[in-house]
Amino acid sequence: MHKGAQLQVVEGGACDPYAALKAKVETQQITIGVIGLGYVGLPLSIAAVRGGVSVLGFDIAKSRVDMLNQGGSFLKTIGAEAVQGMVDSGRFEATATMARLSEPDILIICVPTPLSRNREPDLTHVRTTAETIAQHLRPGQLVCLESTTYPGTTDEVIRTILERSGLRSGEDFFLAYSPEREDPGNLRFSTGTIPKVVGGQGERATELATAVYSLFIDKVVPASSERVAEAVKLTENIFRSVNIALVNELKVIFGQMGIDVWEVIEAAKTKPFGYMPFYPGPGLGGHCIPVDPFYLTWKAREYGISTRFIELAGEINRAMPAHVAQATADALNRHLARALNGARVLVVGVAYKRDIDDWRESPALDVIRHLRAAQARVDYHDPHIPVLDAEALGGKMQGVAWDLAALAAYDAAVVCTDHSDIDWQALANAVPLVIDTRNALAGVEAARGVVVKA
């Protein structure tokens, strides 16, 4: 067993679901069923297989299932060689047949938890998955939710649905929560090296879940309950949201004073205690930080509590795309004596973070929307995203190729994502005005025009 995780010996024989599952885990004779093979489920599957565990992956997208079984990857952050290695091990299979949910000993739910149009939790995928599991649930299975949600979801939603099967949590099956901590594109950490927080519904569930994850995760951190584990994930992302909102507000304030906020941060982070650097940008993106805080905001209303600090941070971060569009308009007027209306503007980078192809909740989409609303003629370039199919933009938008001659035809470029494979010097040389929201052009001399930080 990886890292030597141990389970307490309890009374019970082979017919006791806990004892039976405990014995399987201790001898590593288990199969893990990963439900949802996306940004969370796929790297989790790879880590488990590398740890010597068999994985049966479930996904409703048949094309995705077929690609994985053939050793292909649909994620740029996960190379095909990693998937091929998983398939070649003989310990992985993907399926779209949900009737096979009774086969694995462990079921890990990795499905999306977005917000509704009213910025309230949308647990449609979680509920649907739980209802499907309930149809095939058998004694001696452990079910663990990894999708980010509000404290109480595992008990109030998952348990309630699963117990409709007639089986009871803590007796017939076991229930836990372990927040995903994936960071796509981060080369310093992988699923197996990121510490894993685990909280179960009762001591038995916590012990089982801790032992299972210890088979392929370097460090597992048990929490006293599933509610604590659910709160951990929200706390981590609220922390980031609030601090990013703070530096975004400082960016606006210092900008009016003629002070470069990035220079301030670089100097401030030399303090070896009491300070942690966060960086401003065009807003928040991704599937976590713009979404997760509002799960707690929604749940807090049940207790009559107003989450003013969290909501203020969200308000500041959501205002950044409009700030960028206004800064673009002001810079065009000041430096080129040109209105934004009718100007040709190139948005550089539409992924929500550097060097990935994920544009979920990307602030670049709102920057484009605001620029269009001002009647600017907007194109975008992103080496990782050739086509945007975003509802926020009214449909598909084709990216433009990186062509130095074509760049010269733009009045301004707005940098929203600081991809490492973009030639920033060439951009500064070709375009008369660059609006830099990421400090990507730090140290770059603009041979033709000017660089404005926003």
Q: Give the number of other CB atoms < 10 A from CB of residue 264.
A: 14
Q: Cα–Cα distance between 324 and 331 in angstroms, integer?
A: 10
3-state class of 131 per DSSP? helix
3-state class of 82 per DSSP? helix
Q: Give the number of other CB atoms < 10 A from CB of residue 265.
A: 18
Q: Cα–Cα distance between 171 and 371 in angstroms, integer?
A: 58
DSSP alpha helices (H): ranges in 94-225? 124-136, 153, 160-162, 203-214
3-state class of 365 per DSSP? helix
3-state class of 246 per DSSP? helix
Q: Is the dihedral of CA 389, 391, 396, 400 positive or negative?
A: negative
Which residue is catalytic, options 15, 110, 144, 288? Answer: 288
Q: Cα–Cα distance between 244 and 279 in angstroms, integer?
A: 6
- Cβ contacts of residue 16 below 8 Å, gap of 6+? none
Q: Give the number of other CB atoms < 10 A from CB of residue 443.
A: 7
Written as six digits, the tokens of 359 are 């544009």
Residue 110 is among the residues annotated as catalytic for this protein: no
Contact 42, 75 (CB under 8 A): yes
Beta strand 387-390 with 395-398 is antiparallel
Q: Which residue has the tokens 């405990």?
A: 22
DSSP alpha helices (H): ranges in 362-445? 363-373, 404-407, 424-430
What φ, ψ does residue 399 adopt, rounded to 5°? -70, 155
Q: Cα–Cα distance between 247 and 389 in angstroms, integer?
A: 31
Strands (E), 67-173: 92-95, 106-109, 142-145
Q: Give the number of other CB atoms < 10 A from CB of residue 389.
A: 10
What are the residue numbers of the active site? 288
